[in-house]
Amino acid sequence: MLLAFDTSSAAVTVALADPTSGEIVASSTTVDALRHGELLAPAIAAALEKAGCTPRDLTRIAVGVGPGPFTGLRVGLVTARTMADVLGIEVAGVCSLDVLARQSSFSLPVAVATDARRKEIYWALYDGPAADGSRRRLEGPAVDRPADVAHVLSGLPVIGRGAVLYADALGVADTDVVEYPSAEVLATGVATGTLEVVAPDPLYLRRPDVTLSGGPKSVLPK
């Protein structure tokens, strides 16, 4: 079985799928930006129970690598890496914006914009869907203020929470009702090879808020 989950947004989304066909056998999504750590493990356990499986039945793990807020994103990545190490199986990372692009119902090129907090968005541009449903990323991911990239997204349908929060500032042509990445789409895309797999490392687009110390300071008067 293939276990997939994403915690890069306010949603904690989990899915269990056939590792070859990508057919979903169990899934759940809960939107709660403050409880990723409390929600992920029980959601995984519930999916396994519903499918009549145990962790030893897992053959692969897929996880969204962001971009996303540090606290929520690390919950998913640490869980994926730990489970994969204990079980001795592969963990496949996928850019969470790529997952959202696959969820779009538009048959044209689209933009993805998610909430980066600090009044900013994570964004990327994608080509129209191929015959297998995959989309090629043309630009991004990047993080900017909505007004600073409005000219880039202008005229494109936009999918994601950022399009909902900053629709006026972005001046988008159309929006999609999908706001958060889906573990079902993540699982199916990885199983069928229609989502690009990357290392399971966090995709951070900002500099850390802390800096290295400049060394000890003298307390003696000069």
Give 134's pLDDT tier (boundaries 50, 70, 90): very high
Instruction: Decide if pLDDT at 222 tops 90.
Output: no
The pair of three-digit structure tokens given for residue 162, joined into one six-digit string: 């950022």
Lowest mean pLDDT among 134-148, 189-203, 204-218: 204-218
The pair of three-digit structure tokens given for residue 95, joined into one six-digit string: 């850019």
pLDDT of residue 220: 59
Instruction: For residues 162 and 202, give the distance between their C-alpha atoms in angstroms, rounded to a whole number.
Output: 20
pLDDT of residue 209: 47
Residue 221, Cβ density class (10 Å: 0-12 exposed, 13-18 middle, ≥19 buried): exposed
pLDDT of residue 54: 96
Percentage of residues in the chain having pLDDT higher than 90: 81
Instruction: Decide if pLDDT at 207 tops 80.
Output: no
Instruction: Decide if pLDDT at 95 tops 50.
Output: yes
Mean pLDDT, rounded, for 154-176:
84
pLDDT of residue 51: 95
Predicted confidence (pLDDT) per residue in 47-86, tens digit: 999 999 999 999 999 999 999 988 899 999 999 999 999 9
Residue 146 preceded by cis peptide, ω within 30: no
Q: Give the number of other Cβ atoms within 10 Å of residue 167's Cβ.
A: 14
3-state SS assignment for residue 188 = helix
Identity (one letter) of the amino acid at 41?
A
Predicted confidence (pLDDT) per residue in 10-56, tens digit: 999 999 999 999 999 999 999 999 999 999 999 999 999 999 999 99
Instruction: For residues 53 and 199, give the distance between their C-alpha atoms in angstroms, rounded to a whole number.
Output: 26
Instruction: Decide if pLDDT at 201 tops 50.
Output: yes
pLDDT of residue 154: 84
For 110, 111, 146, 161, 181, the CA distances from 167, given in Å and listed in that order, are 15, 13, 9, 10, 19
How far apart are the two ends of the chain, measured CA to CA in Å? 67
Buried b (16+ CB within 10 A) or exposed e, 18-48: ebeebebbbbbbeeeeeebbebbeebbeebb
Average model confidence (pLDDT) across the chain = 91
- Residue of higher predicted confidence among 140 and 220: 140
Instruction: Decide if pLDDT at 151 tops 50.
Output: yes
Place of tokens 């009549």: 52
Mean pLDDT, rounded, for 119-123:
96
Instruction: Decide if pLDDT at 214 tops 70.
Output: no
Across the beta sheet with 2-6, the strand order is 24-31, 11-17, 2-6, 60-64, 90-94
Percentage of residues in the chain having pLDDT higher than 70: 91
